[in-house]
């Protein structure tokens, strides 16, 4: 298996600062939103993004599983639930990558059902595909590459998650 770099850590850092500004401009200083990082992939991006967010906010986590290795299982299972009170709050889901959008659509509905006023989605990578279930409101990098991606939180069976850059896996032929 060969890894081809598609997004550098420098580009990631620059875009994360820009996304934090876009979010703060959109939400404003008066609101105290709840940022919910989708575990495990979104935690590195969430930490970097939240350090750049200039206003008060709450932080929580949710864990949903829909992949086994590189294959979607076809079903979504929430394995860890947010502890924060979400009723009447603006919630920003922080995700590593949006592919089909099925998991995020499910999570958005789940959080709205918990009483959130509004749910926005901020993804590090937005894979450009047709017939998506849901689109992110804020996106770091649109990617047309259909190869499996790793690094900066993205993994395959818990491997490659801690790489500083984002790589596409090139399968050997």
User: Dihedral sign, CA of 146, 49, 136, 38?
Assistant: positive
The confidence score (pLDDT) of residue 73 equals 59
- The residues near 21 (Cβ < 8 Å, ≥ 6 apart) are 52
- What distance in Å separates the CA atoms of residue 173 and residue 166, rounded to the nearest whole number? 22
Level-2 CATH architecture, domain 8-147: 3-Layer(aba) Sandwich (3.40)
- The residues near 77 (Cβ < 8 Å, ≥ 6 apart) are 64, 65, 66
The catalytic site residues sit at 99
The confidence score (pLDDT) of residue 69 equals 56
Closest of 17, 13, 92 to residue 57, by C-alpha = 92
Q: Which residue has the tokens 């901020």?
A: 122
The confidence score (pLDDT) of residue 99 equals 87
- What distance in Å separates the CA atoms of residue 140 and residue 48, rounded to the nearest whole number? 12
pLDDT higher than threshold 80 for residue 170: yes
Q: Is 165 helix (H, G, I), strand (E, B) or coil?
A: coil
- What distance in Å separates the CA atoms of residue 21 and residue 103, rounded to the nearest whole number? 26
The confidence score (pLDDT) of residue 19 equals 97
Q: What is the mean pLDDT of residues 4-16?
A: 97
- The residues near 15 (Cβ < 8 Å, ≥ 6 apart) are 140, 141
CA–chain centroid gap for 131, Å, is: 19
Q: Which two tokens stand for residue 133?
A: 């279930």
Write out pLDDT tens, residues 60-117.
999 987 756 556 656 788 888 888 889 999 999 999 999 888 889 999 999 999 999 9
Q: Which two tokens stand for residue 28?
A: 């404003």
pLDDT higher than threshold 70 for residue 44: yes
CA–chain centroid gap for 111, Å, is: 15
CA–chain centroid gap for 173, Å, is: 31
Determine phi and psi for 98, rounding to 5 degrees.
Answer: -110, 120
The confidence score (pLDDT) of residue 146 equals 84
Write out pLDDT tens, residues 135-148.
999 999 999 878 89
């Amino acid at each position: 298996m060969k890894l081809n770099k598609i997004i550098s850590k420098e580009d990631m850092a620059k875009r994360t600062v820009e996304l934090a500004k876009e979010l703060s401009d959109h939400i404003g200083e008066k609101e105290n939103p709840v940022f919910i990082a989708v575990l495990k992939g979104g935690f590195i991006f969430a930490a970097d993004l939240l350090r750049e967010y200039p206003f008060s906010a709450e932080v929580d986590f949710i864990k949903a599983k829909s992949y086994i290795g590189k294959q979607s299982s076809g079903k979504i299972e929430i394995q860890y639930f947010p502890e924060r009170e979400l009723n009447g709050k603006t919630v920003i889901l922080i995700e590593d990558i949006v592919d089909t959008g099925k998991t995020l659509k499910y999570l958005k509905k789940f959080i709205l059902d918990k009483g959130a006023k509004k749910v926005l989605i901020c993804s590090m990578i937005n894979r450009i595909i047709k017939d998506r279930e849901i689109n992110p409101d804020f996106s770091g990098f649109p990617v047309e590459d259909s190869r499996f991606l790793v690094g900066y939180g993205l993994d395959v069976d818990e491997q490659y998650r801690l790489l500083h850059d984002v790589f596409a896996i090139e399968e050997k032929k």
